[in-house]
Structure 1
């Protein structure tokens, strides 16, 4: 029986007790999830990070697969009693019993039998892609994997491969920290943190599963080299009434191609009063009447692009969805607008180095469709591309953005931190926010 220490002040878990980020994280929506795949780098990852969530998904009728990349055979490299081959057999059995405990015997784990400590993207590609193909056949699929910044190479390589494949397949992906809880700090929790509440039944099933990972939660023997790996100071992080995950930013192209295919006007840009007012306020806020060279990032079906065209000499309008660009092309042609070039690109990765010395860059309703790292890079590229007297316009919806790691306030907050940008215009109301920046003149703070 695994016994968890009570959380007294000074225990490792205590540092998280008052974390505002944990208290205010939104709940992960599991409603309607019909297929889920949980990826583990090593046996026990799945139980520690997502055991309660797996139990909940099984109880609500989801089809769940559990895929473990390695058998964790190098967990005790100096063991005098267990060889790597012995540990492989032991951990294989423990994993089977643990997964049985959290799935009421409904799921048999799938073993890739890849080398512990030696995961590679090449070795993971085929099994991960197969799992994504299966997931993509569901109506509301979910991929669950270790966190890409967890501090363990196997965790991070597996996470990166799953995140990329899930993004390409337009499958929602969440990542669970394991070692982060031990070495991380509350002040550096990532954006996109969400939680799943655990019932008493979920937590009981999780604890029963942990008890099956005997080689990890108890010493192999009393000899040096056989010490316990997951002692109470580690396990207490996983005793919570919630399991926490980090949302992975989906790949924009498949997501928005699907959105624009399913609906002629997914954002109601032609009928919504919000959309009309937002565009009018944005164009009225421009400090100059005419901008010779402009870039419109995230143009979608071109409603704002068409309105901006009256204020620019020539403009490039960019979107990740070729379906959306087709609708934008039709709109511009119908209005006889010939000063706009449309480009299909996913930014910041496909930034064109020829986009330099621009007089106007508009980023409207797209910043929060980046990961935090992508947004920082895109913001830097936009700043460098501005002419000496150019303007950068940011305009975003201020309410929560479901299933994406950032929201509008996050996007604008990052821009306000930049010392090389000076804010010229600030407009904020309940539904949207507009900030207009110029490059900071040399010598200014």
Structure 2
């Protein structure tokens, strides 16, 4: 992703109706012992998490900000101010901004070159480790007490923000959060608000978390942003000295809520302060997030026009070991494109989807099929099936829900039936796991070997048989 900060960018008002439709889980700080914030450059901490910093510090939580670089590269074409001058100026602005957010906030400056975090990622990793639960103190560091214990909220840039330093900082934070018990991660966008398209966002809008800002917290954030004078006001009238964060861009960050991207692992300290620090509950993708997706894109994904989708359907249908089925169940049928094809191979077809909106289109597309809105696995339809299709669904389920879904399939599948599972193998920011993980889990849980397993770079497809299913050639009498 490349963008020009000098371009007008996305109108902040264009995000307002999109964010209003998000059923965001509020961020609650109860249950945390400390907050650790990563800022690749001076002002990132204020733009992305200034309200959170102010609220946490006011509540008495220790807040520490790790500043990666001093931001000397913000005006590479300036005719009036050198990088060395910017380095000094922006460091002072950073200190003033933290003081405006709350005087109790502490900080560390790593002095990584602006734009060079990829080459110095382990410097950041080592610095964060010092402040994470059970993290060792670095040789020669100022830390004299025991390493941090208890639950930590780690706050870092969103990896998809479009700036290389932001991406690397987000990757380091995500890795450490995954490796360290007692650490929860929230990711903040900065530049995505500027370059992203609210009509078809790359930002995972449906999964955003919201932190309501009080009038006092928002006022502290405004004053902190104003302290970054070299960024919010021109260095001079000369070309190359323009403001980096002009009034239009600042409006993205001065709403009465701060927005964060949360990983799929639920914040158990927020949900249950009495829970053990090492326990996490992974949630399936919510109905609200799918509803929001179909609000933006009524057809869901390009099932009709995409050659990838057309070919994948053809491969799925070709993998079915029987010409005809009595009763087929499709889990997560979306707008019914595959459902319509299944009606040509089964006497009866039932499609389910967690969201109501795509089912209206599915009914028109496959009028001979039946459809029901259902969230898996709790809302399981009654009946028995000799064909169950799970296409692009498994990685939206939590591990517990995936296990329960497999159990439901096994309990309702006829002995001569099959489960056909097909899943995308590339990253999906809305997914809980990934296609390879789901396929491996299905294989491990299924009581019999796969009849078909097709793997290619884009998707993996498995046909898992009931006890009475034989190979096609054996069924046809070609082999004994």
TM range (shorter): 0.5 to 0.7
Please report how far the alpha carbon of residue 154 of structure 1 lies from its aligned counterpart in structure 2 after TM superposition.
0.4
Cα deviation, 1:277-303, whole Å, max 9, x if unaligned, reads: x999979866359xxxxx9x9479x99
User: In structure 2, do the counterparts of structure 1 residues 109 and 82 end up closer, same or farther at CA, with 3 Å as the change threshold?
Assistant: same
Give the aligned partner of residue 152 of structure 2: 141
Q: Does the 8 Å CA contact 1:97/1:212 hold for their aligned counterparts?
A: yes
Give the aligned partner of residue 237 of structure 2: 222
Q: Distance in 2 between matches of 1:231 and 1:23?
A: 27
Of 278-287 and 200-209, deviating more is: 278-287
Stretches of structure 1 lacking an aligned partner (at least 5 in a row): 1-9, 253-258, 267-277, 290-294, 313-357, 364-369, 391-417, 423-445
Q: Does the 8 Å CA contact 1:198/1:242 hold for their aligned counterparts?
A: yes
Please report how far the alpha carbon of residue 86 of structure 1 lies from its aligned counterpart in structure 2 after TM superposition.
1.2
With normalisation by structure 2, the TM-score equals 0.55
CA-based RMSD of the aligned residues comes to: 4.6
SS at match of 2:126: helix
SS at match of 2:248: helix
- Total equivalences in the alignment: 313
Please report how far the alpha carbon of residue 80 of structure 1 lies from its aligned counterpart in structure 2 after TM superposition.
1.7
> Residues 76-225 of structure 1: matches in 2 within 5 Å?
76-103=75-102, 105-120=103-118, 121-133=121-133, 137-170=148-181, 171-187=183-199, 188=201, 189-190=203-204, 191-225=206-240
With normalisation by structure 1, the TM-score equals 0.59
User: In structure 2, do the counterparts of structure 1 residues 32 and 221 end up closer, same or farther at CA, with 3 Å as the change threshold?
Assistant: same
Cα deviation, 1:284-343, whole Å, max 9, x if unaligned, reads: 866359xxxxx9x9479x99999999999xxxxxxxxxxxxxxxxxxxxxxxxxxxxxxx
Q: Distance in 1 between matches of 2:239 and 2:377?
A: 69
Q: Does the 8 Å CA contact 1:279/1:304 hold for their aligned counterparts?
A: yes
Q: Distance in 2 between matches of 1:185 and 1:306?
A: 41
Q: Distance in 2 between matches of 1:117 and 1:17?
A: 31
Of 24-33 and 231-240, deviating more is: 24-33
> Residues 256-271 of structure 1: matches in 2 within 5 Å?
none
Match of 1:287 among 364, 370, 385: 385
SS at match of 1:90: helix
Cα deviation, 1:397-436, whole Å, max 9, x if unaligned, reads: xxxxxxxxxxxxxxxxxxxxx9x899xxxxxxxxxxxxxx
User: In structure 2, do the counterparts of structure 1 residues 88 and 55 end up closer, same or farther at CA, with 3 Å as the change threshold?
Assistant: same
> Residues 266-345 of structure 1: matches in 2 within 5 Å?
287=385, 298=399
Stretches of structure 2 lacking an aligned partner (at least 5 in a row): 1-8, 136-146, 268-274, 283-375, 388-393, 423-427, 444-448, 454-458, 464-480
Give the aligned partner of residue 443 of structure 1: none
Give the aligned partner of residue 415 of structure 1: none
Q: Does the 8 Å CA contact 2:386/2:418 hold for their aligned counterparts?
A: no
